[in-house]
Amino acid sequence: MKPLAVYTTGRPVPPAEEASGSFYDLITRGIGDEWQGEIVDVDCVTGGPLLLPGEVSGIVVTGSPAHVWHREPWVLALEENLRLHHAAETPLLGICFGHQALGSALGGVTAPHPRGREIGTPELEFIADDELFEGLEELPRFVPMSHLDSVVELPQGARVLARTEHEPHAAVRFGPLAWGVQFHPEMDDEIIGHYIHDRKDAIAAEGFDIPHLLAARRPAPIGPRLLATFARLVLGATKQP
């Protein structure tokens, strides 16, 4: 079996990374035993070679403090690579920045969110059935969020699967085997607390009440289930003739 790849596009804030590890660590922990093969970590930021269709069973693209709309060379290279994989129907899952990069790569527009930052564990509203959400209906629907940008215009043919009160494109199916989620399924409410503390000066300057944000956090159990479901979908795709 070809490996499942984690395309790493940045690092968690220092206190979160110190407590819980890198995005690769968080994602592989969330996938758990659902994937029995190799999971490889590919650093996108340093300009190293990205994997090509046929070299990988599926790809998860991580979050990042970078901005897609800055159009840095490594972001452009990432988007070109994602287009190749999308055309080859490699299973793809973009998380936060990865979701935005996938939306941009396929013809959408990623930009600063018109309503500003979203941070905390808002409630997710499912608005379309999808196999990525299998088994999630029975769980509390709070999701870890920390973002300033959004896919403000979807690519042609994309379908919105879920939203929050703040984010209308919280989960999107971009194609037959391509999904993006603006939230962080690899995180939990404790990690979001680290993000709130680390960015408290900027958040407070934007008018947020820090004690209220911390007190309003809720457990977010659907994330690991979603990551495991994506791994199962990748396994299913690799078994197709």
Which two tokens mark 123?
Answer: 């409630």
Nearest to 223 by CA among 119, 129, 124: 124
Which two tokens mark 148?
Answer: 């300033």
Percent of all residues in the chain with a pLDDT value above 90, rounded to a whole number: 97
* 96 annotated active-site: yes
* 55 annotated active-site: no
- The predicted-structure confidence for 121-168, as pLDDT tens digits, reads as follows 999 999 999 999 999 989 999 999 999 999 999 999 999 999 999 999
- The predicted-structure confidence for 69-85, as pLDDT tens digits, reads as follows 999 999 999 999 999 99
The pLDDT score that the predictor gives to residue 241 is 53
Looking only at the bridges linking them, the beta strands covering 58-61 and 4-8 are parallel
Q: Hunting for tokens 């309003």 — which residue is that?
A: 216
240 — pLDDT class (breaks 50, 70, 90)? low
DSSP assignment letter at 32: G
Q: Cβ contacts of residue 172 below 8 Å, gap of 6+?
A: 99, 103, 151, 154, 158, 159, 160, 161, 179, 180, 181
Read off the pTM: 0.97
Which residue among the candidates 86, 166, 169, 184 is catalytic per the annotation? 184
Q: Tell me, rounded to whole angstroms, the distance of Cα 56 from its chain centroid.
A: 19
Percent of all residues in the chain with a pLDDT value above 70, rounded to a whole number: 99
Angstrom distance (rounded) from CA 172 to CA 84: 19
Burial of 179 by CB count in 10 Å (0-12 exposed, 13-18 middle, 19+ buried)?
buried
Angstrom distance (rounded) from CA 236 to CA 231: 9
47 — pLDDT class (breaks 50, 70, 90)? confident
Which residue among the candidates 79, 118, 167, 186 is catalytic per the annotation? 186
Which two tokens mark 141?
Answer: 């629907």
Angstrom distance (rounded) from CA 226 to CA 228: 5
Nearest to 6 by CA among 21, 129, 16, 103: 21
Which residue among the candidates 86, 96, 118, 167 is catalytic per the annotation? 96
- Sign of the C-alpha dihedral, residues 123, 127, 131, 132? negative
The mean predicted confidence, pLDDT, of the chain is: 97
Instruction: Judge whether residue 38 has pLDDT over 70.
Output: yes
Which two tokens mark 23?
Answer: 């995005």
* 184 annotated active-site: yes
- The predicted-structure confidence for 168-218, as pLDDT tens digits, reads as follows 999 999 999 999 999 999 999 999 999 999 999 999 999 999 999 999 999
Looking only at the bridges linking them, the beta strands covering 92-95 and 58-61 are parallel
- Cβ contact 50:42 at 8 Å: yes
Instruction: Judge whether residue 67 has pLDDT over 90.
Output: yes
Side by side, the strands of the sheet bearing 178-181 are: 39-43, 4-8, 58-61, 92-95, 178-181, 171-175, 159-163, 125-126
Identify the structural domains of the chain with CATH numbers, from first to last: 4-239 (3.40.50.880)
Give one DSSP letter per residue of 46-72, joined into a string. TTPPPP-TTS-SEEEE---SS-GGG--
Angstrom distance (rounded) from CA 56 to CA 75: 20
Mean pLDDT for the stretch of residues 1-28 = 98
238 — pLDDT class (breaks 50, 70, 90)? confident
